[in-house]
Amino acid sequence: MNVQRLSSQDSPRNFSATRGRPIPERARKFWDRVSDGMRLDDLWNQLRTDARSTYRLYSREIDAAQPAGTSQHKHFFHVARQFFWAILEKLTPARRILLLVALVLLLAPQAQMLDHPGGHWEFQFDFRILGGLLILAVLILELTDRVVMKRDLQIAKEIQAWLLPARPPQVPGLEIAFATRPANTVAGDYYDVFPRCGFDGATDGAAKESFLVVVADVAGKSIPAAMLMATIQASLRTLCMTPGPLTELVERMNQYACTNSQNGRRFTTAFVAEYWPESHELHYVNAGHNAPILRRPSGATEELRTGGLPLGVMERTRYESGTVKLERGDLLAAFTDGLVEAENARSEEYGGPRFLSVLQANAHAAANVILSSVLFDINRFVGTAPQHDDVTVLLLKAT
C-alpha cells in the first residue's frame, strides 16, 4: 500500500481552521507523530487490510457455510464462536485463562438486562465495554503478526537444521559427539564435521582425505546471527574444495566474512581444524574463539589457542596454525561461550573450571556419554533460569 503524507494544505490544523477552530500546535504534533503523517483514508485502508489478513489467517479453521434452516442470527454467533476459539487456541494455556478472566471482569459488571414491569426488557450498555473490545481487537491484530512470525521462524529453524549435521560422520580413529541449544528459535552457533580432499604439504603433492572440524559463533543471536551463520557455512563448504593449507582456507573465509561484517560489528569467532586419519594429526586455527580443551589420558590438559583475530574484523589478517597429535584416549572439547557463560537464577556463571571437572570425571567414557554428562550438569546448574546465549559443544575422542 502506498503511504501518502499530509501536505501543508491537508494538515489537521488547516482542516480545523476552515471551521474556525484551529488545533493547538502541540495537538497537531501529537497527531502527526501517532499517524506518521498518513491521511485518514489511508489509515482506514490500512486498518481494513490488517483486518482482512487477520481474518484470512483464522478463517482456515472456520466453517463459514450456513447450514440449511439456520437463521442469520444463529449463524453469525456460530461463526463468531469459531473465530473466538481460533484466536484463543493460538495462546498458551496460561494466557487463555488470563484473557477469559479479563473478559469476564470487563463485561460482567458493565452490562445487564433490566426487566421492567409489563415484560419490557432493557439492555444497559457501558461504553467502557466498547473501549475494552477495541483493545482486544488491537491485541488480536498483534497476535496475527506474532503467529505469522512464529511460523516463519519455524521454517527458518527447519532450514537451519538442514545446514547442520544431524549425526556425526564416521571418521577413522575418532568418536564424535555434538549438540547445540539455541537461545531463541534459531541460533548463531555453527558446528560441522565433513571430509575434505586436502593437501598436507608433502613433497609428492599427493592428495589425501582429511576431515574438517569447525565450531563457530556469530556475534549476536536469533535471525541476524542465523543468517550470517548460513553464509559462513556456505563459504566454508565452497572454499574448502580448493586444496591448500588450513591457514589459507581461514584467510579466505576471513576475506569473505569482512564483506558481510558491517565494518567488523558482525564478526564471527571460529575454531577450524583439519584431522588427518593416517597420521592422527590435527592442524587447527583458532580465530578468536574460546580455546578448545585437549585432555590427555594422563589427565593433563592444554588449550588450543594458536590462530588470530575473529573472522570479519580485519580483511588482511594473517593466521597461524597449530598442530597436535591425537593419541588413543585423548579427548578434545570445542565449545561456544554460551556454555561457560550460562547463568543460574543467582546470576552465577557455569564457568570453565566446572566444565573441565565434568570432562575429567567422565574422560574414560564414550564421547556421547561424556556429552550427555555435560548437558545434564548444565541443566542442573542453570535450573529454571532463562537461557541468554546459544550453547554448542563438540567432542572428539581418539580411539
Q: What is the pLDDT of residues 273-301, one digit of tens each?
A: 999 999 999 999 999 999 999 999 999 99
Handedness of CA 223, 220, 194, 197 (dihedral sign): positive
pLDDT digits (tens, 9 = 90+) for 92-108: 777 677 777 777 766 66
CA distance 8 to 13: 9
**Percent over 70 (pLDDT), the chain:** 74
Residue 70: pLDDT over 50: yes
**Percent over 90 (pLDDT), the chain:** 36
Torsion of CA 238, 244, 248, 252, to 10 degrees: -20
Burial of 387 (0-12, 13-18, 19+ CB in 10 A): middle
| Average pLDDT score over residue span 333-352 | 93
**DSSP state for residue 4 in the 8-state scheme:** P
Residue 379 pLDDT: 92
Of the two residues 90 and 388, the one the predictor is more confident about is 388
Residue 125 pLDDT: 60
Nearest of 290, 291, 301 to residue 360 by alpha carbon: 301
Helix, coil or strand: residue 180? strand
| Main-chain phi, psi angles of 378, to 5 degrees | -65, -45
* Average confidence score pLDDT of the chain: 80
Top-ranked range on mean pLDDT: pick from 135-139, 181-185, 274-278: 274-278
CA distance 345 to 385: 5
**Strands, E assignment, 288-357:** 293-295, 301-303, 307-308, 322-325, 331-335
Residue 345: pLDDT over 60: yes
What pTM does this model have?
A: 0.65
Question: Under a CB-based contact definition with an 8 Å cutoff, are residues 331 and 363 in contact?
Answer: yes
What is the location of CATH 3.60.40.10 in the chain?
Answer: 166-398
Top-ranked range on mean pLDDT: pick from 118-122, 138-142, 200-204, 317-321: 317-321
Helix, coil or strand: residue 315? coil
Helix, coil or strand: residue 148? helix
Kindly state the cell numbers that stand for 370. 561424556
Residue 369: pLDDT over 70: yes
Residue 17: pLDDT over 80: no
H-type alpha helices, 108-200 = 127-163
Q: 166-398 — its CATH code?
A: 3.60.40.10
Total number of residues shown for the chain: 399
Residue 130 pLDDT: 67
